[in-house]
Structure 1
Amino acid sequence: MDRRPGYYLLRSTLVAGLFAGTWVAFFLIGDSWASLGLAVLLAVLFGQIALLSHDIAHRQVFRTRRPSEIAGRIAGNLGIGLCYGWWMDKHTRHHANPNHTELDPDVDPDILVWSKTQARESKGLPRFIGRYQAYLFFPLITLEGMNLHWSGIRAVAKPGLRARGLEAALLLAHFTLYLSAVFTVLSPVKALVFIAVHKGLWGLYLGSVFAPNHKGMPLLSGDERPDFLRRQVLTSRNVRGSVLLDTAMGGLNHQIEHHLFPSMPSPHLRRARTVVRDYCAEIGVPYHESGLIDSWAQALRSLHEAGAPLRAR
């Protein structure tokens, strides 16, 4: 549980340096289709900043709230157009009740349905998409980056958000700087293609990181409230892989350990895995772990099964 200031200083410096360098290269290349290569790189960097913001929000970097909020809003709102306050509220509710169909906002049937019960009760867009949602999943998550932007804009547009004015000002600054840079350097057609590639791949990256964590794992509903350990372990899936995978997924491939110890610095989660896995075996709690491709396959199979009632009609 010890903090890792050196690790986070190095990680933040590398990501910030690459981020700034990519924008410098963008201005140097100018109005060229070659800039699309930088759109791909920016998609990865936006994902890395989102993962770093996630660690900051969980107080893995700073112990107290104030520096966490300052750093989170700079990285999230200003850096990538992600509303820190809105995301914190949503993610806190997810951690408290993962995969609970009434309490976890990540399994709301707003676009996709996550269970056969949700499918039977669905209306509108989820009912239409749900029939073939497993096939549409990866195309749909290319829109996740734009969805994060829109969710943040909606959050600051209505009362209730803490530091609402500051959050709104930082979001406005991000969108102003981003759009000004893209449309100043590139012709209108190239600019629109650049934005589509950047935002689409960013959404695909984030969706590929977050989908294996809980999708396809048991769902809870109603009064189902297992104890804390079982609630976190049984609804989560780890993804096996090397340290390179840890970097790509920001440590969230160790999802079980992250849910049990959300403030544990992400580089320590791999070390905690052995302890947690052995303890779960000792007390008879299933500990689910699979490879990356298999984790995606499990998530897609679950989505296909959830939509079965809609295909039967």
Structure 2
Amino acid sequence: MASPGTTETRGSDFARLASKIAEAGLLNRRPVYYATRLTVLALAYFGCWTLFAWVGDSWLQLLVAAVLAVVFAQIGFFSHDLGHRQVFRTRRASDIAGRVLGNLCIGLGWGWWNTKHNRHHANPNHEDHDPDVSPAVIVWSTGQAENSRGLPRFIAKYQAYWFFPLLTLEAWHLHIASFKALLQPSAKSRGLELTLLVAHAALYLGFVFTVLPVGKALLFLVVHQGLFGLYLGSTFAPNHKGMPVLTKEDKLDFLRKQVLTSRNVRGGVFTDVALGQLNYQIEHHLFPNMPAPNLRKAQPIVQQYCAEIGVSYLQTGLFDSYGQALGHLHEVGAPLR
């Protein structure tokens, strides 16, 4: 892989690629696709809750919880596309839909997550600027591992083994972080978003504990939220984990910063749907406002262009991507072992 520390910048490289993509019409909006996808999601969401009410007091509700976890994650993917304005042209329409789907339907703060995700896109895998590689429970570089204390230091020793079990807590973390962000006076649309989050919690918990006895209700929550977090985390892990982690010494132009820190996952239609089409992570990072169904068409153009200009372009299978990510996490923890 080309070194991420090069100081040479070639802004015109991205301009030429962008011209090729625009000429292919891949930045054009796809209203029919997104209308169809939203309709399917709405039917699946309300269908799952209807099934939940119909099944009633039964252990079969654990299967409903598993299916509902998938639907929640798919709504999260759609909200992601809204945040990048792939669906609607205006910010107002995107914000309205994002708050309804994010805050009200799945209980994740739209404003907080959108701000955090935009910071990630601006500086992917950057130790100082990307919130997705900031050391919390998991550490992402040997420097972070050596400076860790307490629980992160304990986990970092064998964090590759802890990674997927910890993802079962990811949904709870996102819910709590959403509420915490809205407690800050500087939060935008604070009242509206907080009201929608509280409404989600009241409706969600109220419905579950009304239909199920306490024991089954608690188990339903554990299964549903655990699988929801595991699914979300498992779809985002292949994208950047195990790729070069940048520091302030690394000076890269836009194209190289996005390509060298991202990894694509090859596959067919099933893989595209399962990963929310974020398996085309390189293309998505280069053109974040490109409609999701166009990413597959952009992939060969971007890959060929990177080969022409000598930029390393990484694409692997799904399980190989997990192996690379977990291998990196284990290597990072080596000094502590």
TM range (shorter): over 0.9
Which whole-Å deviations, capped at 9, do the CAs of 1:251-295 have from their partners, x for residues lacking one?
A: 100000000000000000000000000000000000000000000
Decide which of 12, 34, 42 is 1:8's aligned counterpart.
34
Q: 1:43 aligns with which of 69, 85, 88?
A: 69
Cα drift, residue 225 of structure 1: 2.6
Other-structure match for 1:60? 86
* Structure-to-structure mapping, 1:1-313, within 5 angstroms: 1-311=27-337
- RMSD between aligned residues: 0.6
Deviation at 1:192, TM superposition (A): 0.3
Shift of 1:90: 0.5
What do residues 221-246 of structure 1 show as CA deviations (whole Å, max 9, x unaligned)? 01423000000000000000001111
Distance in 2 of aligned mates of 1:134 and 1:286: 26
Partner AA of 2:271 in structure 1: L
2-structure distance, mates of 1:310, 1:63: 49
Distance 1:307 1:119 in 2: 6
Structure 1: stretches of 5+ with no match in the other structure? none
Amino acid in structure 2 at the alignment position of 1:85 = G
Decide which moves more: 42-51 or 220-229. Answer: 220-229
CA distances 1:37-83 after superposition (whole Å, capped 9, x unpaired): 10000000000000000001100000110000000000000010000
- 1:305 and 1:49 map into 2 onto residues whose CA distance is 34
Amino acid of the residue matched to residue 309 of structure 2? I
TM-score where L is the length of structure 2: 0.92
* Local SS of the residue matching 1:166: helix
Q: Secondary structure at the match of 1:216?
A: coil
1:123 CA drift (Å): 1.0
Identity between Structure 1 and Structure 2 (%) = 61
SS in 1 for 2:311: coil
Stretches (4+) displaced over 2 A: none
| Counterpart residue type for residue 124 of structure 1 | G
Distance 2:308 2:285 in 1: 19
In structure 2, how many angstroms separate the alpha carbons of the residues matched to 1:97 and 1:157? 26
CA distance in 1, matches of 2:188, 2:91: 13
How far off is 1:301 after superposition? 0.2
- What is the distance in 1 between the residues matched to 2:315 and 2:185? 41
Q: Secondary structure at the match of 2:137?
A: coil
Offset, 1:133: 0.3
In structure 2, stretches of 5+ residues that fail to align are 1-26
- Give the total of aligned pairs: 311
